[in-house]
Amino acid sequence: MEKKMQFNPELAEIKTYEGGKPIELVMREYGIKEEEIVKLASNENPNGVSPKVVEAVQNSAHKMFMYPDDAMVTLKSGLAKQFGVTQENLIIGAGSDEVINFAIRAKANPTQKVLTAGVTFAMYDIYAKQIAAPVIKTTSQQHDLAEFLALYKANPDIAVIFLCLPNNPLGESLSRAEVYEFIAQVDTETLVVVDGAYQEYASYKDSDYKIDPSDLIATFPNTLYLGTFSKAYGLGGMRVGYGIGAKEVIDTLYKVRPPFNVTTLSLVAATTALEDQAFVNEAVALNFSEMERYETFAKENKIDFIKSYTNFITLIFNENLNSKEVAQLLLKKGIIVRDLTSYGVNAIRITIGTPTQNSKFFETFTKVLTA
């Protein structure tokens, strides 16, 4: 008998990451025209990208024959100014995804475990499993810091704790006071990662929920703050994110970073996007005025939702609705949302779109509910 190829056994445990369904696939599979498709599945900025960024990237296109500036000084100096830290406190990744991977590879291993919320960003689990590092999850789906602390105390081999604030895919967040009180009880040997992918939204919604990276790392040198240009800044396609930490933490992450991990055009895009805060502020403000329409819609249709500090809303279904089926029916009508069945929840996550996109969602969803 022919032998089957054997791969590293830890990989068998990994569920390959499923992103939001790409528009191109929906066009092909359902024969829907591109302009009729509404993608509310990947938490992208519905306003698109700042025109200033487009212009800057076009003006730099001729530089793509050269390797990028691997010290990334221009972007780092912008970020240092934005956050009141020094360049030594910064590492840039191809998306903050990559920085998550650096943190896990720098600190976790088969005997040094990772602790996360019950339902949270899938990449923590995937990167940990790639290196056979065990992941402990709270039984609570949302962040419950009392349970985090109990699990941490009961498992002396936990080396990395991920707090996704606000949490993707559920949308909840925690106040700065609660987070600080928790971290103060964690050993300084343990790395606490605060994933702030949606912090621009949370800090707008409630200033008590704002986590300031410079204050965080000054108060707790064992923390790493993560931010991204993929969400509020409208640069999901450019893959740029960053980590902010004490110099010792950042220096170590640099050891697992591949060289030239961020492209020249991505660096230009991120640097310019950072300068256009008006674009970000407008997107965030529109997000929450449109969010109210979703809340009203959910209440009118007696559907539960989680109060969201992000640019998406998660609708929780009862036994009368199956999220997988609902997502499929919406897809056939050209609306792409995120079904959370693979996270073990009967829910869909909808990215808040433009007013027109959201109206189309309400109209289509109503048809699905009454079908």
- Chain residues that interact with ligand PLP, rule: CB under 6 A: 95-97, 121, 164, 168, 195, 197, 228, 230-231, 236, 241
Looking at the Cβ atoms of 80 and 117, the one nearer to ligand PLP is 117
Pull the structure tokens for residue 151: 């699990």
Distance between CA atoms of residues 155 and 21, nearest Å: 38
Looking at the Cβ atoms of 197 and 253, the one nearer to ligand PLP is 197
Looking at the Cβ atoms of 76 and 231, the one nearer to ligand PLP is 231
Distance between CA atoms of residues 159 and 145, nearest Å: 16
Residues 25, 330 contacting (CB under 8 angstroms)? no
Residues in CB range of 119: below 8 A, 6 or more apart: 141, 142, 167, 169, 170, 340, 343, 344, 345
Distance between CA atoms of residues 77 and 258, nearest Å: 21
Residues 193, 161 contacting (CB under 8 angstroms)? yes
Q: By C-alpha distance, which of 261, 260, 250 is closest to 106? A: 250
Distance between CA atoms of residues 229 and 265, nearest Å: 13
Looking at the Cβ atoms of 234 and 334, the one nearer to ligand PLP is 234
Q: Following DSSP, what letter does each residue of 337-361 receive, concatenated?
A: -EE-GGGT-SEEEEE---HHHHHHH
Closest residue to ligand PLP: CB criterion: 95
CA 29 to chain centre: 28
Looking at the Cβ atoms of 231 and 360, the one nearer to ligand PLP is 231
CB of 334 to ligand PLP, least distance (A): 23
CB of 333 to ligand PLP, least distance (A): 26
CB of 226 to ligand PLP, least distance (A): 6
CB of 231 to ligand PLP, least distance (A): 6
CB of 343 to ligand PLP, least distance (A): 13
CB of 82 to ligand PLP, least distance (A): 16
Estimate the crossing angle of helix 23-30 against helix 323-332, to 10 degrees. Answer: 70
Looking at the Cβ atoms of 261 and 297, the one nearer to ligand PLP is 261
Estimate the crossing angle of helix 355-370 against helix 277-300, to 10 degrees. Answer: 20
Pull the structure tokens for residue 204: 């707008």
Q: By C-alpha distance, which of 257, 139, 245 is closest to 194? A: 245
CB of 142 to ligand PLP, least distance (A): 14
Looking at the Cβ atoms of 97 and 125, the one nearer to ligand PLP is 97
CB of 12 to ligand PLP, least distance (A): 25
Looking at the Cβ atoms of 97 and 290, the one nearer to ligand PLP is 97
